[in-house]
Amino acid sequence: MSILSDPRWSQALGVLPDYLGNHVRVSLTALALGLAVSLPLAIVARDRRWLRGALLSLASIVQTVPGLALLALFYPFLLVLAAVTLRWFGVGFSAFGFLPAVLALALYSMLPVLRNTITGLNGIDPAILEAAQGVGMTRRQSLFTVELPLALPVMMAGIRTAAVWVIGTATLSTPIGQTSLGNYIFAGLQTQNWVFVLFGCVAAAVLALAVDQLLALIESGLKSRKSARTALGGVGIAALIAVTLVPQVARFSITPTSGTYIVGAKTFAEQYVLSALIAQRLKAQGLSASRREGLGSNVVFDALASNDIDVYVDYSGTLWVNQFHRSDMKPRKELLDDLKGILAKQNITLLGELGFENAYALVMPRKRAEALHIHSIADLAPHAPTLSIAGDYEFFSRPEWANLRKAYGLSFRMQRQMQPDFMYAAVASGEVDVIAGYTSDGLIAKYDLVVLDDPKHAIPPYDAILLLAPKRANDMALQAALKPLLGKIDIADMREANLRASGNNAESSPDAVARWLWEKVSGR
């Protein structure tokens, strides 16, 4: 099978109108907002030294915040703000997706626009400014008929830079719930779907280049004072907006979004498979469902609590430790009951467990473990000072790790952070000795690894549980559609599903794996 006949290309192409439309919508709104704020600010600040200095340093500081962090920071900020407006004015707003993405990206676009506008305006020959005054222009007339037209080429260069930055960074708005071309990249990275990763990167790059070139056309038209060129660039931008937005508008007007259930998923393969499975079950019952995938784990729970998504799968231990900051460890059943009570206070329904656990666990190659006679973490502890350990980006700052170290007296020679997908191959190849893996990961079987026992129960249970948004608490149709999933999926099924999802072919798409999983478990 040649690369181009891979069905995932057509799959990727199928969701392009949705992803691209959303991407263009969020980028251009952010850019427009950024311009609307930056241009007047730059004009006001250009001959006030302190204000200019303060603005430029503030914008520079914003620029040093990584895009992903900036986007993620806006979500909790807006949640608080929404709660405040709801209390004071009786109107709330959705802090999820579009709004935080637009605000963060607009902030991101400000530096080049501010800097170039100020540079452009301050770079005008003083003799020209004096002439404007001398022929009898007011300050306003001088600004609009002389200064801005003369500064425009420099300003356009800044706007171009801002546009490219915003379009590139908008791919990072996926984890806060804004669909974008980043959906390809996040999904592709997590499910080892390189076709998607490549497609997303190329699409974002082509979009950024196209917008940059159209703006370049406008810029050169302005510079050489050829209005035809400027107009051509303007028409190009307008056409791009029209082409990318029309399918969206059409779709919105056909399907009312209020009746659609939104299924959330975090940023790893298992979540993609489970959200696909949930959406398939809903559709099978005649309900309309759409998926919001690649959400940050800090975002997804708040999104459910504020009714921005309707249903998703979380893990009991994650909520216990991360969301409710509990450090006491309880047996599986007890913890679930407590959790159910805590969630009910927020009107969130814990519908039930899917049947498997996706817990953190220390994992090492079977042969190595046998050679060293290691069966449990207790056996590992005396060897640890000579071994290295790798974990995902959050593991070493999580309470589980502190608990593990305390309970077993673990002290490794070296610890490293890794992209979860690469950890298993790293431990299999001996690049690291032990990894903090996930019990449901299919790669454990594939690489012939073993999960070490935790006799002291230092790691809490991580039962996969279905959570429903407050507004769906009494939605019997939804609950009826989901109940057949409860208790059906055991650890072996999930591991195999995850292994399939990490494959690199058409059968490894989350939808295909979800169908396979349903066929496997539905008979039970």
Partner 1 sequence: MPFPPLIAYSHVGKSFGGARGSDRVVAVDDVSLEVAEGEFLAIVGGSGSGKTTLLRLANRLIDADRGTITIEGEDVRAADPVALRRRIGYVFQSGGLFPHMSVAANIGITPKLLGTPPDEIAARVDELLALVQLDRERHRDRLPQALSGGERQRVGVARALAASPRIVLMDEPFGALDPLTRDALGEDYRALHRRLGLTTVMITHDMTEALLLADRIAVMRAGRLLASGTPLGLSQSRNDYVAELLRTPRRQTERLNALLPRDTSA
**Site string (103-142) toward partner 1, x via CB under 8 A:** ------------------------xx-xxxxxxxxx--x-
In the complex with partner 1, the residue whose CB is nearer, 155 or 521, is 155
Of 275, 277, 340, which is closest to residue 309 (Cα–Cα)? Answer: 275
Q: What values do phi and psi take at 312, rounded to 5?
A: -160, 170
CB contact at 8 A, 365 and 443 = no
Calculate the CA 389 to chain-centre distance: 27
In the complex with partner 1, the residue whose CB is nearer, 150 or 343, is 150
Query: Residue count at the site for partner 1 (CB under 8 A)?
Result: 16
Where does this chain touch partner 1 (CB under 8 A) — which range of 89-97, 144-152, 184-192, 255-263? 144-152
In the complex with partner 1, the residue whose CB is nearer, 138 or 429, is 138
In the complex with partner 1, the residue whose CB is nearer, 83 or 128, is 128
CB contact at 8 A, 437 and 452 = no
The three-point CA angle 379-331-318 to 5° equals 85
State in angstroms the smallest separation of the CB of 58 from partner 1: 30
In the complex with partner 1, the residue whose CB is nearer, 142 or 191, is 142
| Cα–Cα distance list, 90 to 86, 94, 97, 108, 303 (Å) | 4, 14, 21, 31, 20
Q: What span, in angstroms and rounded, lies between the C-alpha atoms of 39 and 53?
A: 16
| 57, 85, 225, 346: residue in contact with partner 1 (rule CB under 8 A) | 225
In the complex with partner 1, the residue whose CB is nearer, 137 or 216, is 137
In the complex with partner 1, the residue whose CB is nearer, 56 or 124, is 124
State in angstroms the smallest separation of the CB of 220 from partner 1: 15
In the complex with partner 1, the residue whose CB is nearer, 72 or 152, is 152
DSSP structural state of residue 145: I
State in angstroms the smallest separation of the CB of 46 from partner 1: 19
State in angstroms the smallest separation of the CB of 139 from partner 1: 9
State in angstroms the smallest separation of the CB of 39 from partner 1: 19
The radius of gyration of the chain's CA atoms, rounded to the nearest angstrom, is: 27
b/e code 45-77 from CB counts within 10 Å (16+ = b) = bbeeeeebeebbeebeeeeeeebbebbbebbee
| 149, 341, 382, 409: residue in contact with partner 1 (rule CB under 8 A) | 149
State in angstroms the smallest separation of the CB of 230 from partner 1: 13
Q: Does 251 bind partner 1 (CB under 8 A)?
A: no
| 71, 111, 146, 514: residue in contact with partner 1 (rule CB under 8 A) | 146
Q: What span, in angstroms and rounded, lies between the C-alpha atoms of 421 and 96?
A: 28
State in angstroms the smallest separation of the CB of 127 from partner 1: 5
State in angstroms the smallest separation of the CB of 228 from partner 1: 16
Q: Does 231 bind partner 1 (CB under 8 A)?
A: no
Of 108, 147, 101, 97, which is closest to residue 126 (Cα–Cα)? Answer: 147
Q: What span, in angstroms and rounded, lies between the C-alpha atoms of 443 and 449?
A: 8
Structure tokens at 188: 């592709």
In the complex with partner 1, the residue whose CB is nearer, 65 or 129, is 129
State in angstroms the smallest separation of the CB of 120 from partner 1: 13
Q: What span, in angstroms and rounded, lies between the C-alpha atoms of 373 and 367?
A: 10
Dihedral angle sign, alpha carbons of residues 325, 338, 96, 93? negative
Which residues of the shown chain bind partner 1 in the complex (CB under 8 A)? 127-128, 130-138, 141, 146, 149-150, 225
